Amino acid sequence: MNKAKRMDSLSSGIFNNMDEKKKIFESKGIEVINLSVGSPDLPPAPHIIEALQNSVANPLNYSYSLGGMPRLYEAVAGWYKKRFDVELNAENEILALMGSQDGLAHLAMAYIDPGDMALVPDPGYPIYSFSIQMAQGEIYPVPLLAENNFLPDLTAIPEHIAKKAKMMWINYPNNPTAASADSNFFRRVVDFARRYDVLVCHDVAYAELAYDNFKPVSFLEAEGAKEVGVEFYSLSKTYNMAGCRLGFVVGNREVVSNLALIKSNIDYGVFFAVQEAGIAALNGPQDCVAATARTYQRRRDVLVDGLAEIGWRMPKPSASMFIWAPLPPGYSSSFDFVSDLLEKAGVVVIPGGAFGRQGEGYVRIAMVKDETLLAEAVKRIGQNFSFK
């Protein structure tokens, strides 16, 4: 049986590859510290778990949900108003997703025909490129460079490319670079999208993992943003609900409607019990969110300060659950360094080159272990590498 040609451009993914390498080392009795995948290691707050438990016990909640519950959409609208001062119509500007990745993967099917072009950040989270590949579109990589604070230089996109592009992916706070964007940047994005008739898709999954009193902003806060785009949000990181698979897309009602049409042909909605947990999270006390951010800030400091002491210096991110670390002295390949790090220190991180050509020269470190294990990771690296 011959597989579809679109499969030729796909691989098993860097995360699976690193997990396989990790298992090989573990089979040899080596205790590996896994700082690769951005999977939260903290539990949801008790009131969220309680709402989930109560709803799971309700026998009426086991039918198809066929979309989002109105109470969930009202909760999303209320949360967006409180957090970003953005008004959303709960009836037609919000769509529940099985995690934000659900929508990120499927939206291109509604807008990209074979040969259509999309602007994709480089480096960038792999799902953006994957979605365009599966729709048989063309990808134009937009460089995210340190000299531009890892923001795309919209003026550097050639005119003929901008005119051809149908979609543009942006993501702040960013994965993998941990960079953040301000309102001025989002205003420039809106102007660019209006000028070239480009659909903007903003992934804001890490908005609540922010440090040192920094407060990330929403793309939808920019005037006219709803006219040109949508924003994807997830409860996975903010409320430690990664396994529950609940997110949403908000913004332009036509785009939301088209994604809803795609999804109506793919699935039957999010489990009612998960939606109830989401309502409890969004409407309930938010001190758990602040506590999670403080935990990640402490982890960030343990890693960045500890590694600096042994000669591996990197900037402290103001948001996200990642550290985007330049390769230490003596290395030119992120893949080579990651392999050495696993073999010599038993620490797993992701090579920056896995996120795109412009990611080479960096590694991404996920702050997904407690401070004790992170301190142990620093100790192991210091014992096995000399950076000074």
Q: Which pLDDT score is estimated for 306? A: 97
Please state whether 151 falls in left (phi above 0), alpha (psi between -120 and 50) or beta: beta
Which domains does the chain show, CATH number per domain? 5-43+288-383 (3.90.1150.10), 46-283 (3.40.640.10)
Amino acid at 135: A
Nearest to 301 by CA among 289, 317, 290: 317
Amino acid at 10: L
Q: Which pLDDT score is estimated for 165? A: 98
User: What are the mean pLDDT values of the chain's consecutive 10-residue runs (388 residues total)?
Assistant: 76 68 73 92 98 98 93 98 98 97 97 97 96 96 98 98 98 98 98 98 98 98 98 98 97 98 95 98 98 98 97 97 95 93 94 96 97 97 90
Q: Which pLDDT score is estimated for 14? A: 67
Run of H or E including 120: strand 117-122
Amino acid at 31: E
Q: Which pLDDT score is estimated for 290? A: 98
In the chain, where does DSSP find H-type helix?
14-27, 46-56, 70-84, 100-106, 108-111, 126-134, 159-164, 183-196, 225-228, 235-238, 253-264, 272-283, 287-309, 334-345, 371-384
Can you tell me the distance from the alpha carbon of 285 to that of 287, in angstroms, rounded to the nearest whole number? 6
Residue partners of 70: CB distance under 8 A and separation at least 6: 90
Q: Which pLDDT score is estimated for 29? A: 73
